[in-house]
Amino acid sequence: MKSFDAIVIGGGQAGPFLAARMVEKGMKVALIERKFLGGTCVNAGCMPTKTLVASARAAYVARNSAVYGVNIPGEIAIDMKVVRARAETVTMNARNGLIGWFAGMDGMTVIYGHARFEDPKTVSVNGETLTAPRIFLNVGARPVIPDLPGINDIDYLTSTSIIHLDTLPRHLAVIGGSYIGLEFAQMYRRFGAEVSVIEHGPKLASREDEDISDAIADVLRSEGIDIHTGVSDIAFARSSDGITVATDSARIDASHVLIATGRKPNTDDLGLDAAGVISDKHGYITVDDRLATNVDGIWALGDCNGHGAFTHTSYNDFEIAAANLLDGADRKVSSRILAYALYIDPPLGRVGMTEKQARASGRKIMISTRPMSRVGRANERGETKGFMKVIADAETKKILGAAILGIEGDEVIHGIIDAMNAGTTYPALQWSVPIHPTVSELIPTVLGDLKPV
């Protein structure tokens, strides 16, 4: 049996950085990764997909360049092999950077293999047994494959496998109208494929307010994406030239099908029972406000604990654990103000409460909205789709939440995120003097238009 001061299972966006901090403190750490360092973000999520989004935007801008007085003769062609290679290069650069970093770190032992608990202080991997007083789980999540008629008879894609495509689908059917599915839908439409989105719920991006969801749908429809919502029945069958997707309202002749119906934690084969670690009915490991499980000496970080499921929340889990365990702090998950983005174009930046949540909270609230068509930068760039919305507490004057669907919305939202984390009241932020011409300069104007509801 090999002994360590700590064992980290999973090489995503929380565990490796925590392992590095512990090594800096003179600890002996084992980092166990089943497949690739970097987790979903580096290998199958943010980095490759946003690289693909950038390629798709380049194609979109080129096709529409005449609007700006730039004439490109001939048809805009897409070389999917180059597109794929570019995304793979970004992934490999990041992955190899992590490999090199850890290789030069005394006290760090990286082990590739599948780890399972033998007891609360012991795990087995590759036939070896390791023990440590502290064990951190950062095992991530994977796509959910729903049990739909005919699904096992077709060759479907997931968010992991679609990034390796080096040919352009004739017609991509996207099953699931949430964030992952919508990003791939617009991306492949811009590459030149016909695209249909099929969503069980009554609207796309169901987490969002109805006006945001409707605006997202308008953006996608304007680019020729076929959207089907409120679909109750879906079945698949092979056809002579692809896959038939039959719903209760439509029949789609697709060449490829992307299943984007959510993700589930990679906790079902960890041997949690042997350690006595509790998980919920969905497989998410139950943790307290400081990310500790019910078993002393075991913590769960990142997607597997169900508190965020984003790269930035996973990294923040590392920050919380490191601060509490190594720096004598007392940081809590409940102090985190959730923010995220949807990377369609234009992007959606979101923080805090939706309007629906704010109304349900019983607070006296104020709301302000402003169309992107009234933003100078948006008009100058010819990108006026979307709008801004801010919700505030009428009594405390604190900002409760915001949504910015529009050009650079994923960046502009950080002005609101910072203000909310600093506890700044909206009147104080209203009197800032932003740079012109930017999208962010409209934040004080939007705040000045807040009205009670």
Query: Catalytic residue positions?
Result: 436
CB 390 within 8 A of CB 367: yes
Q: CA-CA distances (angstroms) from residue 156 to 92, 239, 243, 368?
A: 25, 14, 9, 43
Give the pairing type, strands 171-175 and 128-131.
Answer: unpaired
Fill in the amino acid letter for 381.
R
Buried b (16+ CB within 10 A) or exposed e, 165-183: beebbebbbbbbbbbbbbb
Distance CA 406, CA 206 (A): 19
Question: What's the length of the chain?
Answer: 453
- Cα 80 to chain centroid distance, Å, stands at 24
Measure Cα distances from 48 to 38, 140, 184, 194, 349 in Å.
Answer: 12, 17, 12, 22, 20
d(CA 424, CA 409): 20
Query: Side chain identity at 307, as an amino acid letter?
Result: H
3-state SS of 262-325 is: CEEECCCCCCHHHHCCCECCCCCECCCCCCECCCCCEEECHHHHCCCCCHHHHHHHHHHHHHHH
**3-state class percentages of the chain: helix first, strand second, coil last, to nearest 5:** 35, 25, 40
CB distance 350 to 402 below 8 Å: yes
For residue 261, give the nearest of 141, 409, 341 by alpha carbon. Answer: 141
Residues forming beta bridges with residue 30, ordered by sequence position: 7, 109
Residue whose token pair is 């000045």: 448
DSSP 229: -
